[in-house]
Amino acid sequence: MERFALAAAVVLGFALTAALCSLFVPLRRVLERREQQQQPVQSEQPRPAPLRAPLWGGLCAAAGTVTAVGVGWLAACVGQPELLGSEGRLMTRLLTALAGSLAFGAVGLAEDLARMRSPAALGLRRDVRLLLEALAAAFVLLLLRAAGCLPRGLGVPGAGYVLLGSAVPFLWTVLMVALAECARIAERDEGAVCGAAFVAMLALMMVEAGLGVSGLAVLPAALAGALVALLLWAFPPARLGVGCCGSLLAAGAIGCIPLSLDMTSLTVPLALPFWAAGGLLAAQLLCAKRTGKPLRCWVKMSPETVFLCSFALSAVGYVLALALLRWC
């Protein structure tokens, strides 16, 4: 029954997301055509860029994931009714991870809406965005603390489980906000975000199944199916954007699922492509500040090459995550 629940989550997440994306792509074309018709034929002002709908892909993935998780968890509980009253608070952990992922996705949605208000909009102010991401992380930590599931330490290779005391909430908040910012940077190459998050969800699904908590694996299974469907439209050249909504939804899942399992150390290897994107931009900013020259892109690669590199980093992170479980 557990395998059926996981299969149902994957298939339903894929089917619902694909169906929603197939509806939004024609709608995007209609809106673009209408915008072009409303512009004057001859105008001294330059024509605005074609209408983009960056948030639609993320919304499709979120809707498909939530529905698939509900059906998958229901199927798991039918086969194992003891999941509802488990001593490990499995249902609480699952709902917390799902709520945290959606909270970060909501921050991304606000960012996308701010971008769409005007062609020149750059999104939310940095301080506002960081505050919202910190509040989303605090929301997850409060839910885990109220349920008695808040991690007290961190698994360190060679040292085992190291207790961190009162620094735990601060460290987890910083880690999740940094992960969200790196995912926002990687969102420029939207296919890369889907591919990297898909590999991370496969790893988390295998980890939870190996730990004997297959009921919790319905969340990464559903999101994996949704990401595969979204990748059909987001792979370069993208017909439907993932946007910050989809990127932060994936980043929230990579951060919140290990946090709910008390395995936060897995977040570092599983998000390796995101850390690489954030680190590259930070290095460029530091170099530009020291030299006084304008910021430039060091490496010019095609979107397909970026996707392949990101997928390779995801595979490396997958191997490192499995090795980390053995070392800790």
Bridge partner list, 161: 155
User: 3-class SS at 6?
Assistant: helix
Token look-up 């301080």 returns: 127
Predicted pLDDT at 91: 86
In DSSP notation, 87-110 reads: TT-HHHHHHHHHHHHHHHHHHHHH
10-residue averages of pLDDT along the chain (328 residues): 83 92 73 59 44 66 92 84 71 92 93 72 81 95 90 78 84 93 82 89 89 85 93 80 88 93 89 90 79 60 81 91 80
Helix (H) or strand (E) holding 244: helix 243-260
Is 237 exposed, middle or buried (CB count within 10 Å of its CB: 0-12, 13-18, 19+)? exposed
Asked if 224 and 8 count as a contact pair (C-beta separation under 8 A), the reply is no
pTM of model > 0.85: yes
Percent helix / strand / coil, the chain, rounded to 5 = 75, 0, 20
**What is the tens place of the pLDDT at every residue in 176-203?**
999 999 998 888 766 788 889 999 999 9
Predicted pLDDT at 293: 66
Token look-up 């390796």 returns: 272
Predicted pLDDT at 44: 45
Predicted pLDDT at 45: 47
Rg of the chain's alpha carbons, rounded to an integer? 20
DSSP-derived letter for residue 38 is H
Predicted pLDDT at 190: 67
C-alpha 198/C-alpha 205 separation (Å) is 11
